[in-house]
Structure 1
Amino acid sequence: MSAFPQLRQTVIDATDVRRTAEFYRELLGLQYRPGDEPRADEDQADWLVLRHPDGSGALAFQQVDRLDQTTWPDPDVPMQLHLDCTVPDLAELRRQRARAEALGASLLMDQSVDAEEPLFVMADPEGHPFCLFVAP
């Protein structure tokens, strides 16, 4: 028995749960929890879970009616939470930015020329920010 709670997954609000789950499934190479895979007869899912290939928890997505997109870096609507995703080098950073954009992401900030920590701040299709950066 652990003396601490175990983090199971991070939950992301979305107005289109399937679209957002598909974005992160493709971007991060995750898999649906059994039973959460897309179905032809599905109207709209309101809760989906993605797992790592080893079955451990990763991300979950819950349906919301309205989602105010962050105005970051303007503080009117703060970021509140974002995912950090690392890559080994600058070439991979550029490749993953292109992949993310092909999946529906948009660029919020380009700091890829930063000598200490090159990074892109991106937004997923729902507007949630996430970072792609070269791990030190």
Structure 2
Amino acid sequence: MTRFPRLANVVVDTPDVRRTAEFYRRLLDLVYRDGDEPPTDGPDTADWLVLYTREGHRLLAFQQADDLRASTWPSPDVPMQMHLCFYVDDPDRLDAEAQRAQGLGSTHRVHRTDDPDEPLHVLTDPTGHPFCLYTHPSVPPGSPL
């Protein structure tokens, strides 16, 4: 037991809970909390879903937000407010992971792949939440960041 609060997961507001959860499930190879899997019969009325790592650690949750305005970043009209960052261990896979994310439904916003210390791509998920895919070419794969 720890004496301080621990982060349980990040909660993402979205007007389409299943679509957004499914995007991140596929992007990050996550699994649904027991009972949160897509229904096999009948409509999907989920307004709260939780995703775990395959090792059983809670990571992301999604809640219904009907009036969400998607970020317009880098334009300041609707700021990011928050964004997620995902690390790609193998620098040679960075561009391929950005392309894979786009194939899953994300939109590419900005790239800074010419930065020798921390190349990155900024994309938005299907709901418009920004997220980064980045790497450190000088850090050996699997090392702590």
TM-score by length of 2: 0.89
Query: Are 1:84 and 2:85 matched, yes or no?
Result: yes
Distance in 2 (CA, whole Å) between partners of 1:74 and 1:23 is 24
User: After superposition, where does 1:30-41 map in structure 2 within 5 Å?
Assistant: 30-40=30-40, 41=42
Unaligned runs of 5+ in 2: 140-145
Distance in 1 (CA, whole Å) between partners of 2:2 and 2:43 is 39
Distance in 2 (CA, whole Å) between partners of 1:125 and 1:44 is 18
What SS does structure 2 have at the residue aligned with 1:81?
coil
Deviation at 1:98, TM superposition (A): 1.1
Deviation track 1:77-136 (CA, whole Å, cap 9, x = no partner) reads 111111111112332101101110010001010111221211100000000000001135
CA contact (8 A) 2:86 2:133 kept: yes
Q: Which residue of 2 aligns with 1:67?
A: 68
User: After superposition, where does 1:101-112 map in structure 2 within 5 Å?
Assistant: 101-112=102-113
Deviation track 1:32-83 (CA, whole Å, cap 9, x = no partner) reads 0000000132332100000011111100000111111112122221111111
Q: Which residue of 2 aligns with 1:113?
A: 114
Distance in 1 (CA, whole Å) between partners of 2:7 and 2:43 is 29
Q: Which residue of 2 aligns with 1:52?
A: 53
Distance in 2 (CA, whole Å) between partners of 1:30 and 1:14 is 18
Name the aligned partner's letter for residue 90 of structure 1: P
CA contact (8 A) 2:38 2:44 kept: no
TM-score by length of 1: 0.94
Distance in 2 (CA, whole Å) between partners of 1:89 and 1:3 is 35
What SS does structure 1 have at the residue aligned with 2:19?
helix
Unaligned runs of 5+ in 1: none
Q: Number of matched residues? A: 136
CA contact (8 A) 2:27 2:101 kept: yes
Q: Percent identity?
A: 52
What SS does structure 2 have at the residue aligned with 1:12?
strand
Q: Which residue of 2 aligns with 1:95?
A: 96
What SS does structure 2 have at the residue aligned with 1:70?
coil
Distance in 2 (CA, whole Å) between partners of 1:110 and 1:64 is 29
Distance in 2 (CA, whole Å) between partners of 1:86 and 1:19 is 23
